[in-house]
């Protein structure tokens, strides 16, 4: 079934250039984003536990708000 909300996931990794990339997938929807702190600073390996929690919350928000909309928490205004 297209848009199956039971098969949602989020993955993140560093690309070859050292940028942190996030991919949200649910059904046939797929969103790729470069990740950084609101300040524009890079997310460091020491930040990954907190970042992982943020990603889990954002994935949940995406499923609740509807997978055809980008989660509003992606546009956060503070670190």
pLDDT tens-digit series, residues 35-66? 888 788 888 889 899 888 888 888 888 777 77
The pLDDT value recorded for residue 40 is 81
The pLDDT value recorded for residue 70 is 67
The pTM score is 0.68
Strand order in the sheet with 20-26: 8-14, 20-26, 29-35
The pLDDT value recorded for residue 46 is 92
pLDDT at 73 over 60: yes
Report the alpha-carbon angle 54-57-59, nearest 5: 110
């Amino acid at each position: 079934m297209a848009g199956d909300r039971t098969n949602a996931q989020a993955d993140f990794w560093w690309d070859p250039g050292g940028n942190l990339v996030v991919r949200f997938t649910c059904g046939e929807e797929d969103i790729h984003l470069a990740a950084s702190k609101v300040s524009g600073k890079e997310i460091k390996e020491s930040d990954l536990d907190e970042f992982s929690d943020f990603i889990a919350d954002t994935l949940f928000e995406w499923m609740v708000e509807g997978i055809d909309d980008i989660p509003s928490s992606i546009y956060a205004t503070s670190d």
